[in-house]
Amino acid sequence: MSAEFDLIARIRARAGGRADVVLGIGDDAAVLQPPPGRQLVVCTDTLNAGVHFPDDTAPADIGWKALAVNLSDLAAMGAVPAWCTLSLSLPDADPARADALLDGVLELATLHGVVLVGGDTTRGPLSLCVTAIGHVAPGHALRRDGAGAGDDLWVSGTLGDAAAALRGWSQGDAVPAALRARLDRPTPRVALGAALSGLASAAIDVSDGLLADLGHVLEASGIGAEVDVDALPASAALPDACPGLELRRALQASGGDDYELCFTAPPALREAVQAAAQGVGTMVTRIGRMVADRGLQCRTAGGEQWESARAGYEHFAG
């Protein structure tokens, strides 16, 4: 038995199960029983070494993050995650690394009752491609194109920690563990997303930076937004690591890798949104409002116009 089939056998033994997995890892494909009366929600995201995580990231954290960024996409649709696949490219047959990558994937999967149902392993530079599949009530998916003028603009959790960690790491600074954990093990807002289904008018997850991702909502919805940059929620750890106000604003507005949910809802639902968020134990903060005029205006608490020095992380930017 080759190393590849050995690895697949180990993955299979650890993948877990649930009643709707008719046939999991070990055949040409998985067979799944979709929940009746629900629509499927499907996303795919890849993490590549040298691009998506610092090169000293622990393999278990890489595995966690590869699934987390996908569960975050499902959360941004208001979907309940169910199953995932993992395509794993490995530069060698080191079983310890493969197992550690899998540790991270399965730790997060277990937290959300998600079952790994398939995938493949190939030789190549380290890369993890995850496809996540969930479900949502028909018509209740949170889309980018549903925001209306006058809606409140909200964001979950706190912003800027992951970007601060990445900045510190790339400068060779000592990075506080609390910040580094936000970069390495983002928390997909799965329960919040599901709780917002039926309340939020639009949603997106913050992966490339708040303003860049909000821009996709504006474009899809055909409207504009006003953002109060001093209302952006920050962790307790952020001011210590980044004492400068301007840098902190920039990291929060444009840093990326937060995997928080940015969403809109009518002001009439303000209390319902707060109650839904409280019900799942996730903080949400109002950070602005949607306006009919296209474009994105940022203002400080003092009312001054503010422009981010960076427009968010873009692949291939050059």
Binding to a copy of itself (CB under 8 A) within 169-208 occurs at 203-205
Retrieve residue 169's tokens: 């790491």
Closer Cβ to a copy of itself, 71 or 237, answer by number: 71
> By CB neighbour count within 10 A (0-12 exposed, 13-18 middle, 19+ buried), where does 261 fall?
buried
- Window of 101-109, 136-144, 274-282, 297-305 that interacts with a copy of itself by CB under 8 A: 136-144
- Window of 10-18, 99-107, 135-143, 175-183 that interacts with a copy of itself by CB under 8 A: 135-143
Q: How far apart are CA 66 and CA 52, in angstroms?
A: 9
3-class DSSP assignment, residue 175: coil
**Of residues 39-98, which lie at the interface with a copy of itself (CB under 8 A)?**
39-46, 48-52, 73-74, 76-77, 79, 83, 85-87, 89-90, 92-93
Q: Are 85 and 116 in contact (CB under 8 A)?
A: yes
- Window of 31-39, 224-232, 239-247, 278-286 that interacts with a copy of itself by CB under 8 A: 31-39
Q: How far apart are CA 20 and CA 24, in angstroms?
A: 10
63 is in an annotated binding site: no
Q: Are 148 and 201 in contact (CB under 8 A)?
A: yes
Q: How far apart are CA 121 and CA 4, in angstroms?
A: 7
Instruction: Give, in order, the Cα–Cα distances in Å from 272 to each of 81, 103, 155, 194.
Output: 23, 37, 15, 14
94 is in an annotated binding site: no
Q: How far apart are CA 225 and CA 206, in angstroms?
A: 16
The interface mask with a copy of itself, positions 244-273, x = CB under 8 A, is: ------------------------------
- The residue within the footprint of a copy of itself, chosen from 57, 127, 158, 221 (CB under 8 A), is 127
Closest CA to 279 of 188, 204, 194: 194
**Of residues 10-29, which lie at the interface with a copy of itself (CB under 8 A)?**
22-23, 26-29
- Window of 140-148, 164-172, 230-238, 286-294 that interacts with a copy of itself by CB under 8 A: 140-148
228 is in an annotated binding site: no
Which DSSP helix (H) or strand (E) runs through 169? helix 161-170
Known binding-site residues for substrate equal 52, 257, 313
Annotated binding site for ATP: 119-120, 144, 207
Q: What residues are designated binding site for Mg(2+)?
A: 28, 44-45, 73, 120, 205, 208
